[in-house]
Structure 1
């Protein structure tokens, strides 16, 4: 089935004339207090006669504000949409003295927030079957959530899920660098510190980006982050990377227990994710269908139309109840 999606050629104009007015008139925003007193920001919208409810788990550094186009497309096609900003990023609360730190104590904190969001915000308003849509780090969070509560979602879509990251260093090297960084931060009496080579927020020009082939979507993303500095986030801290490694190891160790019907899109020219590990883990998950998106970069939901359109057509059809093709 072909769904009604926003084309790149119309995006700049539609963003101003349709999507932003839709956000003001149809989207409800709010906050709740998560574990440790951290404020978690969220947004949701529900069209009349919604046929499916989708919860979005976004990637690292992302804010729900970056998802306006996707949320509009989902809503316009009859999906009720709910999305939180993960703790430590977007409009949600920070946990270190530097608001640009990419930081979390452990990925279970993300999972706790997501489940609280579903219980307190989604379920009172959800009009239809509950499904999950994840990108990158959000794919790791979503997978951990499904491992903890296998019956929570009827089905899930994972786009470029973070089951491994690049560069794919030997395990002993990665753990050695992480332990060295953690020790250094303790000696400096810092609550957290950037991992080696990581920096505060940098707005790379389109020509140097490895996230998307879509110049207009990349430009709108950077303009958004330039206009609202609250959502800017720098590189990962050693503490975040340590938590991420533990999360990815857990997913790999428990892959066979992931039984939720799942459609996974692997971007073949991904410069962020270790696709070898990702696909190896994915192939051990029962009830999962893996699709490789040839030549695509990491951000499939903001990719050029030649990649985004077929991915979203399959995503929406699957979330609505379509079968996994074997």
Structure 2
């Protein structure tokens, strides 16, 4: 399915005058109590988890150019590390045009969701199982409500993809289709991950679990496009402006406990026994120029899922950076078309 992409040469203006006003007319904000699960301790601090949903029926009455008249279900979005719901406004727009309601969940420690550290730049989590349990609860309640008996699909990126993989393994019938976009099956740590895990264990053991990871820094408003070679400058600058405008969206760096939990999540989702539990058809996108997650573990994950009768397909985009949705239209367009074709097909599309 084709949709008309936002013009990169007039991006900020189109987002401000067309996309965001339309989204505001079908946007509902909500809060969810964190999930409870056997063996999962109470959260370190109290507070609810934030989400925003966009109703396809309310969007339909706006009669936006290119919008379909057919309701196709709902898409749950699971964002990446240090991200936030507002960053996905453009992707929400495209899903709405295609006939899907959209539910964007802000993981604990991100956006407006409950936090466990005072510094708005830092992300900390005590147990990776919490991420998985919270997303599963959100999808099975709010997501199902918005799907209204139609397909419930998952779109996730990076850390959100690692969490999504965990949900697919533990709740094999929750989603009808799942897109894992550059999922954090294994993060890049700058050293062998077994060594990074050992170091994180030591540093957390001596009380540095909430300390910022060495070499990372807190949020600053300055943007260096040299850090995003080949990305759409208009999109990257728009993302940065969202951070500048809202302190809740300035998460920017990992703590040592987050690293330890990310590596534990990575080991868990790669276990053959866990991969064998997946029943949901998966479309996994891999970026050839990814600097944040490792490609080879993604390959192994797909192979393990398929080895046990699963339905997973890997699409590699050689010229893309980690955030495929931040790339120029020439890359974003085919990426989006494949996602919408996959969600809309009755069986795995052949790419």
TM range (shorter): over 0.9
Question: What is the CA distance between 1:172 and its match in structure 2?
Answer: 4.1
CA contact (8 A) 2:185 2:266 kept: yes
Partner of 1:40: 49
How far off its partner does 1:203 sit? 4.5
Shift in CA distance, 26/130, structure 1 to aligned 2, threshold 3 Å: same
Q: Report the more deviating stretch, 97-106 or 239-248.
A: 97-106
Which residue of structure 2 lines up, in the alignment, with residue 19 of structure 1? Answer: 19
Q: Deviations over 1:207-241 (max 9, x none)?
A: 23238610000010111101111210131111011
2:89 is aligned, of 61, 68, 75, to 68
Query: Can you give the 5+ residue segments of structure 1 that lack an aligned partner in the other structure?
Result: none
| Match runs of 1:50-61 below 5 Å | 50-61=71-82
1:83 corresponds to which of 97, 104, 111: 104
| CA contact 2:284–2:312 (8 Å) conserved in 1 | yes
Residue 155 of structure 1: CA displacement?
1.0
Query: Which of 235-244 and 29-38 deviates more?
Result: 29-38
Asked if the contact 1:167–1:274 (Cα under 8 Å) also holds between the matched residues in 2, the reply is no
Q: Structure 2: which 5+ runs fail to align?
A: 36-42, 58-69
Residue 225 of structure 2 aligns with which residue? 207
The answer to whether the 8 A contact 2:143-2:152 is kept is no
Correspondence list, 1:1-326, <5 A: 1-35=1-35, 36=43, 37-48=46-57, 49-127=70-148, 128-167=150-189, 169-185=191-207, 192-203=210-221, 205-210=223-228, 213-253=231-271, 254-286=274-306, 287-321=311-345, 323-325=348-350
SS for the counterpart of 1:284 is helix
Per-residue deviation, residues 66-111 of structure 1 (Å, max 9, x unmatched): 1111101111221111111111011111012333221111221112
* TM-score, length basis structure 2: 0.86
Q: Give the count of matched residue pairs.
A: 322
Does the 8 Å CA contact 1:6/1:73 hold for their aligned counterparts?
A: no
Q: CA RMSD in A?
A: 1.9
Measured in 1, the distance between the counterparts of 2:172 and 2:285 equals 20
| CA–CA distance in structure 2, aligned partners of residues 310 and 172 of structure 1 | 36
For residue 260 of structure 1, give the secondary structure of its aligned residue in structure 2: coil
Taking structure 1 as the reference length, what is the TM-score of the superposition? 0.93
* Residues 202 and 234 in structure 1, CA contact (< 8 A), matched pair in contact too: no
